[in-house]
Amino acid sequence: MELIKETDLRNEINNIILKDEQKLLKMYYAGNGDLYMSMSDGKRLDREYGGSIFMDIREEDGSIYDATYNLYSRIMDENKINPRNIIDEDNNVVWLDDDRQENEADKFMIQNYGEVIRLKFVRIGDNKLFNRKNSRCITIRFSMDGSRYHEYANEFATFYRDLNEIEKGKQYRK
C-alpha cells in the first residue's frame, strides 16, 4: 500500500491517494467544501447494478490501517449513541452517495475482517437522467452540510486529516 499526496497548484486541492497495485483510492475536497472519494482499478466497470471495486487494507499497512480502523470504530461507537441506517446487519458501514437519491445512490462500504479492513465501492444501475463521467471509477460524495448521515460526515473529514498527517515512508510497521 502506497500513500501519495498531490497538490493541484491551480486550485490548491490536496489529493490523498492510496495505491495498491492497479487500484487507486483518491480523496479530495471539491470547491463546494464536500469530501469526495473515488476508486478505480484501471478496468471498465459494468454500468449495471453490482459493479464494484474494493481495496483491502491490512495491519502491516501500519498508519493507513490504524486511520481506517479508527474511522470504522468511531462510526460504530457513534451509531450506538445515535442509531442511523449507516450500519447494515453484518456490521458494515454503508454510506450512500450524497449526490443521488437513496434508491439510486452508489454505495461506499467499510467491512471489518479483523486484520483486514475492506473499502468497497458498489455501483448502482444507471439512470438516464444521470450520465457518468467516468465508467472506470466509482465516486462517492460526503456532504459536509446536508447529508442524510450528517452526524457521520465529520468522521470522514477526520479520516482525510489522519491520512494527510502520515509522513511519507512512515506508514508501515517495522
Domain presence at residue 160: yes
For residue 137, the one-letter residue type is C
Alpha-carbon dihedral 66, 51, 104, 129, rounded to 10 degrees: 130
CA distance 68 to 108: 13
pLDDT of residue 25: 94
145: buried, middle or exposed (CB in 10 Å: 19+, 13-18, 0-12)? exposed
pLDDT at 129: 42
23-47: average pLDDT: 83
In a domain, residue 171? The reply is no
Range of the domain at 149: 2-164
Residue 8 lies in a domain: yes
Q: What is the pTM of this model?
A: 0.85
Instruction: Return the higher-pLDDT residue of 173 and 167.
Output: 167
- For residue 156, is pLDDT > 90? yes
Give me 63's grid cell.
498508519
pLDDT digits (tens, 9 = 90+) for 101-155: 777 788 999 999 999 999 999 887 655 444 455 567 888 989 988 777 777 889 9
DSSP single-letter state for residue 102: G
In a domain, 172, yes or no: no
Residue 43: inside a domain = yes
Which residues are CB-contacts of 167 (< 8 A; sequence separation ≥ 6)?
A: none
Instruction: Tell whether 170 is covered by a domain.
Output: no
**For 43-101, what is each residue's pLDDT tens digit?**
666 554 457 889 999 999 999 999 999 999 999 999 888 887 899 999 999 998 888 87
- Residue 169 in any domain: the answer is no
Asked if the model's pLDDT at residue 21 lies above 60, the reply is yes
Number of domains composing the chain: 1
User: Is residue 74 assigned to a domain?
Assistant: yes
What's the pLDDT at 116?
A: 96
Classify residue 17 as exposed, middle or buried by CB count within 10 Å of its CB (0-12, 13-18, 19+).
middle
